[in-house]
Amino acid sequence: MNIHPTAIIDPQAELGKNVTVKPFAVIEGGTQIGDDCTIGAYVVIRTGTSLGTGTEVHTGAVLGEPPQDMKYKGQESYLKIGCYNHIREFATIHRASSEGESTQIGDRNLLMAYSHIGHDVVLGSNIIMANNVGISGHCVIEDNVNIGGMVGVHQFVTIGTTAMVGGFSKIVRDVPPYTIVDGNPARPRGLNTRGLQRHNMSPQQIAALKHAYRLLFRSDLNVSDAVSKILEESEPTAEVKRLIDFMLRIDEGYGGRQLDPH
């Protein structure tokens, strides 16, 4: 291991193989740092935090601070971060607010400088969050989402898989999967065709989603009638079924959060 002599590491911290810790970093006890991780200068990793293999944490990031929640009274909670994440300068991620619960981060995410992830958030994998994005507590961000800079996301919001959120947007409602949303407050602007292509969806799969999108968001039909028309016309693809299920949950008032974030 390559540990700078100015770093402060509690003896109760667990460090894996080939870990690098740069100057003036602080790693508290009750933490787990996986193999091949790099901990940047002035990083603070608080108790209850675990990092998976190959994660890089850059200068000044703070991981596992207590939640910014008035109900929190010091109960034991956790922050679980997966593998091969890139957490850039001065990002902050808070642990959960309830006893025994976890804020969860998946694998291969890029969290750019000054981004914030609040308590009890569930973040999937292969997500890009640009500079100064703020994710409030209890949100779910599904896999392959791309969030532009300076976006604010209200608590308890779900952003569906492979969605794209335009920079400076205000997100106060669930974002349907596979869509592009933008604005203040944000609304659907189209299908995230480029993102679908990057994730190897076939032209037939994309065409089916485009047709479903037009009926759900560009017709005069309400959600239930649009869904009925989609189902009448053909057997929906797996992606169209996921979009339909998401929209029905929103329409019924339960919110997209009930979906599996993975």
List, by residue number, the catalytic residues: 119-120, 137
| Alpha-carbon span 131 to 201, nearest angstrom | 28
Tell me if 189 sits within 8 A of 163, measured CB to CB. no
223-233 helix and 203-217 helix, angle to the nearest 10 degrees: 140
The two tokens of residue 116 are 């914030």
| Alpha-carbon span 115 to 88, nearest angstrom | 8
Tell me if 77 sits within 8 A of 97, measured CB to CB. yes
